[in-house]
Amino acid sequence: MKNKTTHGIKELIKSLINNLIWTGQNKGRPVYARYGVPLLFVILVTVFKLQLNDLIGVKSPFLLYLGIVCFSAIYGGTGPAILISITSVLTADYFFVAPVGAFSFNTDTCIKITLFLTECLSLTLLSYAVKVAYQQVNKNEQLFKAMIEKGSEGIILTDRSGVRVYCSPSIEKVIGYTAEEFLELEAWVLADPEELPWMMEQLDGLMKHPGKNISFIHRMKHKNGNWLWIENSITNLLDDPAVNAIVANFYNVTERVTLEQQKEDFIGIASHELKTPLTSLKASLQLLNRMKDDPGSPNFPKMIEQANRSMDRITSLVEGLLNASRVNQGQLHITKSVFNLSEMIEKCCSHIRLEDKYHLILQGDRRLQVCADENRIDQVIVNLVNNAMKYASESDEIYLIIDKSGKMAKVSVKDSGPGISPDKIPHLFDRYYRADPEGIQYSGLGLGLYISAEIIRKHDGEIGVDSQLGKGSTFWFTLPIEG
């Protein structure tokens, strides 16, 4: 409460200074005010002095005008100050220097006038210097204010007794609460209760060491109820007379932490995915090694087939990893040529036709031609069809539909599998994202759709999915039509 009152008084004084004296932009004041107001004061002081002539005499005729020169320099700037100096000299000389009612420029008066004008000049220069300094301070203050208020980090100042005395408005961008709302909340109420003990331990240590800085990442609840990862950098500036507080700067690092977690998960999954075919390949090779003296064995061709399948799986995984790394580095190059979509689909899906279980049905406009990278589009279609076989294995019919949609050709791969829940759909094309339903674990790296999306984006097309739980999914993409 006391802090708020002091702050209010400070603001009031500041605005008075700004408005009464100048805002550092007295050029913004109308000219008639900058010159007129000081002139009015000259008239008032002259009338006032004339009335009091008998009482106070005319011993120092210029003295009262000095104040007005000072005021005009501050209020109106250098121009009004010069005008008022000259006006004051003439007025004082005419009204208050003998002979009264006429101008006198004898030696004595000239000395007094010179002294007065020198004082006026010093005052004007001094005011100018103060004005420049004030403008500079004002500018710096505006700059720091903008940095603190518009930045993406929150800043909290806490005093020695643990009371939060300041909170930057930018905190709203980080945790959703306005600065006022946040200051009303109990300290650390938004932190994860499980993390609080070790955080308090760190803070206790910090309090004992002036000048020390600590940084840690912790969880904090956003106003919308979501948990965020916050990087907090806290410095003990209690002994710094200019700050006299514990300063906490904090940022939202949820995206970074999530990505790091995803990367770690990914390394685990990738190693596991590679280990399975490698183990199988090793086993096949060991058996083949034992059979090398008996090539007629009925198991010989079986083992070779198994080794080949393992090699294919390893090759496909490594290709996926290489493609993802190319996408990351922006090095996914495409070489376009004109080709017929249905002919290309027939060719690329021949491996599926060989598998008895799945019935691949190609429908739609068979004449559509596109100008695209045939190999890359082949890769996208194979990925979508493989996904349909993997994630919708119970739907033995997979539809491949080619449509015309304005100037674009649309290719859809439709299955009647389990579908995908709506909350997972927005993330499907993200790197490393896998949306396995609970209880089922499919193999995969979560890169296929990410790479496919990048390939389609490079062709100025769109990629998406329409899916309903229990009814199936339709993954689709579009490409500009040729001709």
State how far the Cα of 463 lies from the Cα of 480, in Å rounded to an integer.
13
Structure tokens at 446: 């979560």
- Return the number of other C-beta atoms located less than 10 Å from residue 389's C-beta: 19
Cα 218 to chain centroid, rounded: 19
Nearest one of 336, 320, 481 to 409, comparing CA atoms: 481
The number of angstroms, rounded, from the C-alpha of 76 to the middle of its chain's C-alpha atoms is 43
For residue 397, the minimal CB distance to ligand ADP (Å) is 13
Any idea what the Cα angle at residue 39 is, between residues 34 and 40, rounded to 5°? 105
CA distance 481 to 477: 13
Helical H segments across 292-393, by residue range: 299-328, 341-348, 350-354, 374-391
Q: Find the shortest distance in angstroms from Cβ 476 to ligand ADP.
A: 12
CB of 428 to ligand ADP, least distance (A): 5
Amino acid at 424: K
Structure-token pair, residue 153? 């980090």
Q: How far is the CB of 274 from ligand ADP (least distance, A)?
A: 13
Q: How far apart are CA 267 and CA 244, in angstroms?
A: 46
User: 349 or 368: whose CB is closer to ligand ADP?
Assistant: 349
Distances (CA, A) of 287 to 90, 280, 305, 312, 313: 118, 11, 13, 19, 19
Closest approach of Cβ 392 to ligand ADP, in Å? 5
Choice between 246 and 389, CB closer to ligand ADP: 389
For the CA atoms of 340, 343, 344, 349, what is the dihedral angle to 10 degrees?
Answer: 160
Residues 6 or more apart whose Cβ sits within 8 Å of residue 423: none
Cβ proximity to ligand ADP: between 203 and 360 the closer is 360
Question: Which stretches of the chain bind ligand ADP, using CB under 6 A?
Answer: 383, 387-388, 391-392, 415, 417, 420, 428, 433-436, 444-450, 473
Q: Hey, what are 259's tokens?
A: 């990505």
Distance in Å, CB of 399 to ligand ADP, minimum: 12
| Of 124 and 379, CB closest to ligand ADP | 379
Q: Which is nearer to ligand ADP, 105 or 442 (CB)?
A: 442
Nearest-approach distance from CB 317 to ligand ADP, in angstroms: 9
What angle do the packed helices 341-348 and 374-391 form, to 10 degrees? 50
The Cα–Cα gap between 477 and 483 comes to 19
Residues in CB range of 355: below 8 A, 6 or more apart: 389
Q: How far is the CB of 424 from ligand ADP (least distance, A)?
A: 7
State which residue, 42 or 465, has the beta carbon closest to ligand ADP: 465
Q: Is 225 exposed, middle or buried (0-12, 13-18, 19+ CB in 10 A)?
A: exposed
Eight-class DSSP state of 240: -
In the complex, the smallest distance separating the C-beta of residue 417 from ligand ADP, rounded to whole angstroms, is 5
Residue 108's nearest CA partner among 52, 61, 144, 167 is 61
Instruction: Tell me whether residue 307 or residue 428 sits nearer to ligand ADP (CB atom).
Output: 428
Nearer to ligand ADP, 34 or 313 (CB): 313
* Number of Cβ within a 10 Å radius of residue 449: 24
For residues 37 and 425, which CB has a smaller minimum distance to ligand ADP in the complex?
425
CA 288 to chain centre: 58
Amino acid of residue 266 = F
Q: How far is the CB of 465 from ligand ADP (least distance, A)?
A: 8
Q: Residue 397 or residue 436: which is nearer to ligand ADP going by CB?
A: 436
Tell me how far, at minimum, the Cβ of 203 lies from ligand ADP, in Å: 42
Which residue number, 73 or 447, has a Cβ lying nearer to ligand ADP?
447
